[in-house]
Structure 1
Amino acid sequence: MANMLTFDIEEWFHANYDGVLPDRSKGSGFRTHMDTLLRLCRETGCKATFFILGCIGEDYPDVVKAIAREGHDVASHGYGHELAYKQTIGEFKADVKKSIDILEDLTGTKVLGYRAPSWSIVESNLHYLEVLVELGMRYDASIFPVKTFLYGIPHAPTWIHKPVVNGRELDLYEIPMSVMRIAGRNIGYSGGFYFRFFPKWVIKRAIHAANRRGSSSIVYLHPREVDAREHRLDLPFKENFIHYYNVQGTPAKLEDIMRSFRFTSIAEHLKDNFDENAKLTLTAELVR
């Protein structure tokens, strides 16, 4: 069974903590990080979905083109890493559309999917998913079925589904982040802090368990998480722990996980596993 590999493509300073003003003049190792991720994909035979900020497309057009050229799924992460639940619906639509236009101009391929910065599609703005349908998108991967101080819808479905908003099923697939049950609660295990926090054997066991149930797991990481030498935000203790714990161990862990399981992109997973209409539509749009 193929699992899904995803990366949120942003700079080291893209975060959503109140009162944190990063010094963007420090530069970054972004190109090196992207070289690492693309090399790992090539060497392990994995395909991935890259959720890319529109501003990254403006600053690094060659990187976006390389992602598309190597056969990966180019999707939107919004334009400037603004929290969706802090935007009006009009601001949200303009933000997403701007990113789509930039990415499509660079790749010549339709953008099929979206992930909100910091998982910022929550109960209060779930109706924003209707905007994605209006923009012609085929899937969303913004909902994390957990509850944290920043994000989450703890009772959200944990399987791929078409969400119901305002009593209407949307023509859009929701790809929720993978979770496992611990003490009656949903806990992430395969991305970001959770990927860095849990030992490799826990992640592997959880992926195997999901696969035995007939479900695919989703891995997600950020470019900054493959380089412990990258600049760091000046954060309070709790936020610093969440943002940077065990970054030094991430590259080797990621490579091992990628070599231990088969990974594909979200678009390819939908094309291969869902209804014929979805297969035909996604195939046509992927080859444009």
Structure 2
Amino acid sequence: MSNSSKQITNLLTFDIEEWFHANYEQVTPDRTKGSSFRAHMDTLLQMCSDAKCKATFFTLGCIGEDYPDIVKAIAREGHDVASHGYAHELAYKQTREEFRADVQKSVDILENLTGTKVLGYRAPSWSIVESNLHYLEVLEEFGLVYDASIFPVKTFLYGIPTAKTEIHKPIVNGKELNLFEVPMSVMRVAGRNVGYSGGFYFRFFPEFIIRKAIQSANRRGKSSIVYLHPREIDAREHKLELPSKEHFIHYYNIKGTKAKLANMLEAFSFTSISEHLSNQYKR
């Protein structure tokens, strides 16, 4: 790895949810099958420990209810426990008051478990879009430090393709919020923004492309953000019954994800969002 890459710290994030947490209409998962969630979390925490890095764990409130010991373990190991909402509901299908109640419920659960203030939020399925961008005002009212819900791309599910691609304080209704927006990393391909370092994109692109994209961002002084779900490191985990297109997006190349993540943790420096912000910006 180049010295320029070493000098930049990238951001490691996980969306902490079960295999059945998704937002596909007319899909009712059989939750009685159980899951390997505990084993996945043990693996992720051990990988972070081995790499000597901190990460941000965007955790559902219902996970806090079902696995309080795991949430406590995340915090005990010095990671950032942030909110992913309560039950993986799409923010753009909630009213502002429903969104407020959802975030409040998750924050209360997580703070009661960890004894520390929740600093950040990521909407399930990147569901802060142009139509509900003003929901960020709710996060500011809660005193959160950052949001990481905006993906500067356009897909059939989410995205704000014209959104800023660097960390910034967003302007909503003509006012700059006292809240950092930490948008998902993108690269330019044929004049369009494309993700490369998380979820489907992380699984889809060959490792050398991801490495080059992170190195390119780091040379420009920018951090790249990795995001993954616990289910993505285990090809044997139960799967949702999805149409072919959605199945491809949700499960393509899961068998290669764990090794690819391990290689990235070895090649680049990573930390949590809150630690990065406290190091780089005056709060």
Same fold (TM over 0.5): yes
Distance 1:138 1:46 in 2: 21
How far off its partner does 1:26 sit?
A: 0.3
1:122 aligned partner, one-letter code: V
Provide the residue aligned with 2:87 in structure 1. Answer: 80
Report Cα offsets for 1:27-79 as digits up to 9, x if no partner. 00000000010000000111100000000000000000000000000000000
Provide the residue aligned with 2:138 in structure 1. Answer: 131
For normalisation by structure 1, the TM-score amounts to 0.96
Provide the residue aligned with 1:58 in structure 2. Answer: 65
Is 1:24 aligned with 2:4? no
Distance 2:84 2:145 in 1: 14
1:68 to 53, 66, 75: 75
1:9 aligned partner, one-letter code: I
Provide the residue aligned with 1:240 in structure 2. Answer: 247
* Secondary structure of the corresponding residue to residue 70 of structure 2: helix
Report Cα offsets for 1:126-147 as digits up to 9, x if no partner. 0000000111101000000000
How far off its partner does 1:167 sit?
A: 0.3
Provide the residue aligned with 1:213 in structure 2. Answer: 220
1:124 aligned partner, one-letter code: S
**Mind listing any 5+ residue stretches in structure 1 that lack a counterpart?**
279-288
Is 1:254 aligned with 2:261? yes
Counterparts of 1:152-231 in structure 2 under 5 Å?
152-231=159-238
Distance 2:142 2:105 in 1: 11
2:64 aligned partner, one-letter code: G
How far off its partner does 1:246 sit?
A: 0.2
2:111 aligned partner, one-letter code: E
For normalisation by structure 2, the TM-score amounts to 0.97
Cα RMSD for the two superposed structures: 0.3
Is 1:149 aligned with 2:165? no
Is 1:11 aligned with 2:18? yes
Distance 1:136 1:93 in 2: 13
Report Cα offsets for 1:225-261 as digits up to 9, x if no partner. 0000000000000000000000000000000001100
Distance 2:98 2:143 in 1: 17
1:64 aligned partner, one-letter code: V
Query: Could you tell me the percent identity over the aligned residues?
Result: 75
* Secondary structure of the corresponding residue to residue 205 of structure 1: helix
* Secondary structure of the corresponding residue to residue 99 of structure 1: helix
* Secondary structure of the corresponding residue to residue 233 of structure 1: coil
1:268 to 271, 275, 279: 275
Distance 1:184 1:112 in 2: 34
Distance 2:267 2:54 in 1: 14
Distance 2:100 2:29 in 1: 26
